Structure 1
Amino acid sequence: MSKLRCVVIDDEPIATDYICNYVNQMPQLKLVASFNSAQEAYELIQRGEVDVLFLDIQMPGLTGLDFIRTLDRKPHIILITAYSEYALDGFNLNVTDYLLKPVRFERFAQAVLKLSSLSEISFKSPTEDNMRKKDYIFLKSGYKSVKVMIDEITHVEGSKEYVTFYSEDGKKYIKNERLKNVEEQFSSFDFLRIHKSFLVNLKYVHSFYGNTIEIFDMKIPIGRAYKEDLKKWVE
């Protein structure tokens, strides 16, 4: 089955990372490239080598809306921004959809499904079972998105709109996401919520005492509301 060729343009590395990750989770899409500025993608788009453009609006230099106006050959465009006031301008430019940051995967998938009526590609919404079967995720490391096996993640720490993934080899990866969403995504693996800010891989729990769990040399607190769930695992 042919896939829609996608390009992501955003000057924020974290936003670029998770949108690219979302694209990779949709079997009907193929990530061609990602760019930090619109100008870098101009020739690729004008050559007709892009079917779908995921485009940030607020960028230094040329904004996303201004960039659309420069294109003689327009792919399907899905705008991504933190500012709702640009929605009308976007739809006046005939964009396919308009997503507000931080973008949840479910909302992203809805936007992609709109393309089914605009292209010859047959789209299906990813089912919960298919999403759970995936045993890896792509996470940002420097300028690259690297494949990390979920089973090799020791624990995940949440802080407002961001989470930090800790891997078995001692590396850390930060992603713009809520811990609750990660908990749902990892629900078919051996992960347990033990605190409002921590999700742990039970495979790596060495010991626990009082209100603390030990994973290697890390001491992680156990929240009062989560003690019963931990007790069930021990028993």
Structure 2
Amino acid sequence: MQLKCVAIDDEPLALQIIEKYVAEYPALTLVNTFEDAISGGEYLKRNKVDVLFIDINMPDITGIDLVKSLEDKPMIIFTTAYKNYAYEGYELEAVDYLLKPINNMRFGAAVQKAIGYYQYKHTDTSGEDDFLYVHSEYRLIKINIKDIEYIESMQDYIKIHTLGASKPILTLMPLKNAIEKLPSAKFIRIHRSFVVARDQIRSIHNRKVKLTEVELPVGTNYTDFIKDWHK
């Protein structure tokens, strides 16, 4: 596996740092760097790459606007000197955001996410995946399927409730799409707004599913699940 990378940043020092860090990963090849977003954008429209390291704040065009203009988007790792990111960046499904000055360890974590996600998208497997990837809080998150207790639909978003977590993972994804990513033998839809892990069900009573700490309603169109569960 060899991932082609491009870096775009109007700060030459930032490009030097990225070039140095990329060289430490045999799976990455830095094919080009650009100090202005317009030249970098033209290159990306003519050449396919796997990973794009791009600054958000640049004088001619922002990194977010450049990424929006690309029809065939590579995996995006934004770099920025600002802690607050524009909300629009959320929908661009970036792999990660790196805060400047970028340290080697944090860079490495972003790269491993990109490598893992690439393998997830491009490797054929005969069995079911043990994890899934979602975009949340401006970055890509890997979730072990065995840790999912239930998923809650909120219109265009879903909340993924995982075991032992203090808060759910919120991501822009219809519940239908999430169901398609889950092994059907391990998860069951009990309501138009809820999907639960079968092995997390403790009891069912009066059309209420009891998990460890919560009770969820069983929808009218999903009552057949109760009969199957009692078998």
| TM-score for the superposition, normalised by structure 2 | 0.52
Query: C-alpha separation between the residues in 1 aligned to 2:6 and 2:187?
Result: 33
> What is the one-letter code of the residue matched to 1:74?
Y
SS at match of 1:43: helix
Alignment check: 8 A CA contact 2:150 2:160 kept: yes
Alignment check: 8 A CA contact 1:204 1:215 kept: yes
Deviation at 1:233, TM superposition (A): 2.8
Query: C-alpha separation between the residues in 1 aligned to 2:217 and 2:134?
Result: 25
SS at match of 1:97: coil
Deviation at 1:208, TM superposition (A): 1.2
Unaligned runs of at least 5 residues, structure 2: 23-28, 50-64, 75-89, 94-120
How much is the aligned-residue C-alpha RMSD, in angstroms? 4.7
1:43 to 7, 11, 15: 15
Residue by residue over 1:121-173, the C-alpha shift from the partner in whole angstroms, topping out at 9 and shown as x without a partner, is xxxx858x739622112456767644321011000001111111111113411
TM alignment of 1:104-143, pairs within 5 A: 130=125, 133-139=128-134
Query: C-alpha separation between the residues in 2 aligned to 1:134 and 1:164?
Result: 20
1:169 to 164, 168, 176: 164
The percentage of aligned residue pairs carrying the same residue is 21
Query: C-alpha separation between the residues in 2 aligned to 1:211 and 1:152?
Result: 24
Q: Radius of gyration: which is bigger? A: 2
Q: 1:160 to 1:39 in 2, by over 3 A?
A: farther
SS at match of 1:184: helix
2:72 to 97, 104, 111: 97
2:147 to 145, 152, 177: 152
| Bigger RCO of structures 1 and 2 (CA < 8 A, at least 6 apart) | 1
Matched, 1:74 2:46: no
Q: 1:40 to 1:206 in 2, by over 3 A?
A: farther
Query: C-alpha separation between the residues in 2 aligned to 1:226 and 1:40?
Result: 57
Q: Give the count of matched residue pairs.
A: 163
Query: C-alpha separation between the residues in 1 aligned to 2:5 and 2:197?
Result: 35
Deviation at 1:68, TM superposition (A): 4.0
Unaligned runs of at least 5 residues, structure 1: 10-37, 53-66, 79-85, 105-124
Query: C-alpha separation between the residues in 1 aligned to 2:11 and 2:178?
Result: 33
Alignment check: 8 A CA contact 2:136 2:169 kept: yes
1:181 corresponds in structure 2 to 177
| TM-score for the superposition, normalised by structure 1 | 0.52
Alignment check: 8 A CA contact 1:131 1:185 kept: no
Alignment check: 8 A CA contact 1:154 1:166 kept: yes
Deviation at 1:187, TM superposition (A): 3.0
Alignment check: 8 A CA contact 1:164 1:174 kept: yes
Query: C-alpha separation between the residues in 2 aligned to 1:211 and 1:40?
Result: 60
Query: C-alpha separation between the residues in 2 aligned to 1:98 and 1:3?
Result: 14
Alignment check: 8 A CA contact 1:206 1:214 kept: yes
SS at match of 2:165: coil
